[in-house]
Amino acid sequence: MLKFVKHHMETIAGIEIYPLVSFVIFFTFFLSLFAYVMLMKKNHIKELENIPLTDND
């Protein structure tokens, strides 16, 4: 089964760019998410920490 899929993937012209593009999108997303979390204000983080403990009935 893998040979069947591999053969068809090799016959597609320009297919080698897709893994590179997906890696760049993946890396950019997680790098921006990391930067967002590191730059969050500490007061906002404290508010988010206490959300499960608040009683909003």
| Residue 20 confidence (pLDDT) above 70 | yes
Instruction: Tell me whether residue 7 is in a domain.
Output: yes
Structural domain count, the chain: 1
Alpha carbons 3 and 33: distance in angstroms, whole number: 38
Q: How far is CA 21 from CA 10, 12, 16, 17, in A?
A: 17, 16, 9, 6
19: confidence class by pLDDT, cuts 50, 70, 90: confident
Structure tokens at 40: 């969050």
Instruction: Tell me whether residue 57 is in a domain.
Output: no
Structure tokens at 3: 């040979």
In the chain, pLDDT over 70 holds for what percent of residues? Answer: 91
| Residue 17 confidence (pLDDT) above 80 | yes
How much is the pTM? Answer: 0.59
Q: Which domain holds residue 38?
A: 2-52
Bigger pLDDT: 27 vs 1: 27
pLDDT score, position 24: 97
